[in-house]
Chains A and B, each alone.
Chain A
Amino acid sequence: MPDTTTAIPPQAEEREFTVAERSQAQLVFRRFLQHRAAVVSLCVFVALILLAYVGGWLWKYDAGQYTPDNSVPPSWEHPFGTDSAGRDQFAQVLRGTRISLQVSVSVAILATLVGTLWGSVAGYFGGWVDTVMMRISDLVLTLPLIAVAAMLAHNFGGTWYLIALVIAALYWAYVSRVARGVVLSLREKEFVEAARALGASDTRIILRHLVPNALGSILVNLTILVALAILLETSLSYLGFGVTPPDTSLGLLVSEAQTALTTRPWLFYFPGLFIIIIALTINFIGDGLRDAFDPQQTKVRQ
């Protein structure tokens, strides 16, 4: 196939993406549907979100509410049992899920926004701008994230949005590397050269050409970030530097339950299971998106 991308007539430039985008989106969607694990994961994940928000609102017990049943194992009355103070663990886990999801999704969005912008600016301009910006990213990456997050969160943290802010302040550097790589490879593509030859401004090229085409990698990365952030948040909460009571999160629930592992194991397993389900489904969704955006299927040569 001859490459026809260089032959865009100038008047087509205004609508060049509208046509390609729609068909591309349909293609991506179709390929995503072929990834069975990803589709199942997406359903489970959506169901989990509904359960956490709608289910938690409908459930007969509130998260902090003390019931007369102390330390009862799972039953119809208390599907996940209760803790020693009589709090319904199902309500607790749903609240923990809400907080953990809020933290991880905020982290993913914040870090993606900052990281993408940082990385694409560095990759697009190159030269010393690139050098300086990427050195800063590298610096952030040389520190064990959980250690810095613990240090910052110990005095700044406590509530979920502050924890999210601290984690996002460190994760953006990962995103910036990915974004820069994508932009570097796209920068040399013909359609960018064509746009430049037609006199498009830097801002326009970045926003109209680079970002939409890098969307696939960015989206895949965003899902992975959600999983990473939820794991980091739970680890931080476990160490005692994350969300603190009276707020709760899945990590905090596991942490509180670890001494009760032999006597009240349900307190330990259910929040852990929820963490795994969230991270697992998100990783599968990310995998499905990656396949959909970048089909590396075994090609048959003609």
Chain B
Amino acid sequence: MSEQIDLAPQRRKGTKGDVVLEVSGLDVSFPSGDGPVRAVRGVDYTLRRGEVLGIVGESGSGKSVTSMAVMRLLPTTARVSGEVRFDGRDLLGLSETEMTRIRGSRISMIFQDPMTSLNPVYTIGAQIAEAVRAHHDVSKQAALDRAVELLDKVRIPNARDRAGSFPHELSGGMRQRVVIAIAMANDPDVIIADEPTTALDVTVQAQIMDALSAAKEETGAAMVLITHDLGVIAGQADRVMVMYAGKLVEVGSAEDVFYTPRMPYTLGLLGSLPRMDRPSERLTPIPGSPPSVVNMPPGCPFGPRCPKHTAVCDETEPELRATTGPDHLAACHHAETLAGASADDVFDTEVADAQALHQLAEEGRP
């Protein structure tokens, strides 16, 4: 324990509130047999130091691809354009060597499935120590000591003994803590958590959210929290972005998006969330399913599922525009008509139930 690891030799952490990550005009597409799949279409956002930014959307909305593009971890077939400015530099223009230096040390990432995120043939201690040694020239022993320290911080009991365990000897929740420990290892500026609780039991989810908060406190990092579950974001995120079909459809502070949504899709998402404060209300499902992102027709991609749908929705795709305030943006032709509406005013629950049952009968075959 003699060797101390100096985590940030000459790095000054900027002041809270500075912009640390700025994404503009991000476009990602993948070639496919049926033409390019446009997974992300012109996404812009900024992340400030110490802030938690939630990105919400259904599977296929492009929320994970956006963050993988920031990390430059997409398969080589992906076509990425736009700009990702981190600490003044455009990450998309960096060489692979420079990018390697940033990954894991300045920006780190937590993935969805802890059961497969860790290499089965190495001990968890070795896998954390590896992250430390990737960016710090320290002895194996020092890195291992740091690994134990990190395991302790994510509240793994008997950290020193546990460091010698293999991933298969740990539960899913424990493994996700190990992944969080790896993300914290080099005191990053940004932690991107991609559906960190989705693969876990509900009882474990809260513990993982606590571990994430601890990681954020410990490192002071800004966090991007990606999820399809608004419940996970509530109480955690300062700002929320809603994605649909590769685009941002609503952006604003958590209060704005949760209490005065201006995009029917957001309203639908909120309506499908069980709420403790209004026990008698029934859940409102959104009918239909997201569009295919190959050869998308013109108009609003949410149009076909939208109860507010009118002729204009089929003609032009709405742009993000300011609604209740300059920082609350929504992409909807009818944003103003949503003032004061609740989900079951807008969505017809009876029709939705009938549709859902029909769909179940259609798909309910092996």
Contacts and interface: CB of A to CB of B under 8 A. Distances in A.
A-B complex is real = yes
Interface of A: 1, 4-5, 7-9, 12, 16-17, 19-20, 34, 189-191, 209, 213, 298, 300-302
- 10 tightest A-B contacts by CB? A191-B366, A302-B60, A20-B365, A4-B364, A302-B59, A16-B365, A301-B64, A4-B363, A5-B366, A302-B64
B63 A8 contact: no
Contact of A19 (B61, B62, B63, B365): B365
Interface string B31-44: 00100010100000
Contacts of B37: 300
A280 to B, nearest CB: 25
A12 B60 contact: no
A298 B68 CA distance: 15
Contacts of A16: 365-366
B30 interface: yes
Given A4-B363, A190-B366, A302-B62, 10 more contacts: A5-B365, A5-B366, A7-B360, A12-B361, A16-B366, A17-B365, A17-B366, A300-B39, A302-B64, A302-B65
Nearest to A19: B365
A152 B155 CA distance: 66
Contact of A4 (B39, B68, B360): B360
B75 interface: yes
A163 B365 CA distance: 44
A302 B61 contact: yes
B97 interface: no
Contacts of B30: 300
A81 to B, nearest CB: 45
26 contacts: A1-B59, A4-B360, A4-B363, A5-B366, A7-B364, A8-B365, A8-B366, A12-B364, A16-B365, A17-B365, A17-B366, A20-B365, A20-B366, A189-B366, A191-B366, A209-B366, A213-B366, A298-B75, A300-B37, A300-B39, A300-B65, A301-B65, A301-B68, A302-B59, A302-B63, A302-B64
Nearest to B290: A302
Contacts of B363: 4
Nearest to A212: B366
Contacts of A9: 361, 364
Interface string B53-81: 00000011111110010000001011000
A34 B364 contact: no
B288 to A, nearest CB: 14
A194 to B, nearest CB: 8
A23 to B, nearest CB: 10
A298 B60 CA distance: 15
Contacts of B33: 34
Nearest to A18: B365
Given A298-B75, A298-B77, A300-B37, A8 B364 contact: yes
Contact of A12 (B39, B61, B365): B365
A190 B364 CA distance: 12
A191 B366 CA distance: 6
A1 to B, nearest CB: 7
Contacts of A20: 365-366
Nearest to B360: A4
A33 B362 CA distance: 27
B361 to A, nearest CB: 8
A19 to B, nearest CB: 6
Interface string B337-366: 000000000000000000000001101111
A267 B65 CA distance: 59
B63 to A, nearest CB: 7
A204 to B, nearest CB: 14
B208 to A, nearest CB: 19
Nearest to B58: A302
Contacts of B59: 1, 302
Contacts of B63: 302
B71 to A, nearest CB: 12
Nearest to B111: A301
Nearest to B66: A302
Contacts of B361: 9, 12
A20 B62 CA distance: 29
Contacts of A4: 360, 363-364
A30 to B, nearest CB: 9
A6 to B, nearest CB: 9
Nearest to B226: A302
A210 to B, nearest CB: 11
A291 to B, nearest CB: 12
Interface string B69-107: 000000101100000000000000000000000000000
A17 B37 CA distance: 31
Contacts of A209: 366
Nearest to B243: A302
A120 B99 CA distance: 50
Given A300-B37, A302-B62, A5 B75 contact: no
A291 B62 CA distance: 26
A300 B33 CA distance: 14
Nearest to B68: A301
A189 B60 CA distance: 26
Contacts of A1: 59
A190 to B, nearest CB: 8
A235 B308 CA distance: 73
Contacts of B77: 298
Nearest to B59: A302
A297 B68 CA distance: 18
A17 B30 CA distance: 33
A189 B366 CA distance: 10
Nearest to A34: B33
A257 B179 CA distance: 65
A7 B356 CA distance: 13
A20 B364 CA distance: 10
